[in-house]
Amino acid sequence: QKEVEQDPGPLSVPEGAIVSLNCTYSNSAFQYFMWYRQYSRKGPELLMYTYSSGNKEDGRFTAQVDKSSKYISLFIRDSQPSDSATYLCAMSARDSNYQLIWGAGTKLIIKP
Amino acid sequence: KAGVTQTPRYLIKTRGQQVTLSCSPISGHRSVSWYQQTPGQGLQFLFEYFSETQRNKGNFPGRFSGRQFSNSRSEMNVSTLELGDSALYLCASKSTNTGELFFGEGSRLTVL
């Protein structure tokens, strides 16, 4: 079993829909949680960063961490075709020298 | 400010050959990490270099090696290539101030 599980998709939704992307993990020591976005033929770029449990909002994006369930989510409101990309979750812990552990990535397609 | 530059962007090799990939980090960044990305396994950490020293290493065979120069530029080498080494190899430099990873566009290696 992988330390971080993420459904690879693809997930296809119509423009304007609310998108929910999720990751589950097994290591309770993870404290830092990140979402990266990767467009085709590009490297990943940091989208959201959260420490420990709770919510964080940035424009149309909301990151949510539930440490008790070992579950993190990324919500995208009013989705746009330009949001079409692969979304990767990543997480780290102090006791593993903050080495990032990655999910496989979910391919998201927003249909106009 | 120039981003992370990786060369070459695309290359084709045959089994048994070796390959060297190059990465120039963002100016001022001293940490460089290398990742292998494949559709099945996602992002897999190879190694991290900081000030010319390998700081962390992933779970890859000894055929994968790297180094960092005094100007923070880094190279990775894969010897005795296998078909399974076909992947996108990503380099990331880390901001000293924020710890954020900035990725290059990757070098796509195809092994025939």
**Average pLDDT per block of 10 residues along chain A, 112 residues long:** 89 97 95 94 92 90 95 97 97 85 94 96
Cα of first residue to Cα of last residue in chain B, in angstroms, is 37
Q: Look at residue B97 in the predicted model and tell me its pLDDT.
A: 79
When pLDDT is averaged across residues B65-83 and rounded to a whole number, the result is: 97
Q: Check whether the bond before B8 is cis (ω within 30° of 0).
A: yes
**A10: cis peptide before it, omega within 30°?**
yes
pLDDT digits (tens, 9 = 90+) for B17-45: 999 999 999 999 999 999 999 987 889 99
pLDDT at B99: 80
| Mean of per-residue pLDDT scores for chain B | 94
**Helix, strand, coil % in chain A, rounded to nearest 5:** 5, 55, 40
Q: What is the pLDDT of residue B1?
A: 62
Compare CB distances from A105 to B42, B104, B105 and report the shortest one's residue: B42
CB contact under 8 A, A88 and B100: no
> What pLDDT does B54 receive?
94
Could you tell me if A100 lies within 8 Å of chain B, comparing CB atoms?
yes
* B111 CB within 8 Å of a chain A CB: no
Which B residues, 40 through 59, put their C-beta within 8 Å of a C-beta on chain A?
41-45, 56
Structure-token match 């992002």, residue found: B43
Is B4 in contact with A97 (Cβ distance < 8 A)?
A: no
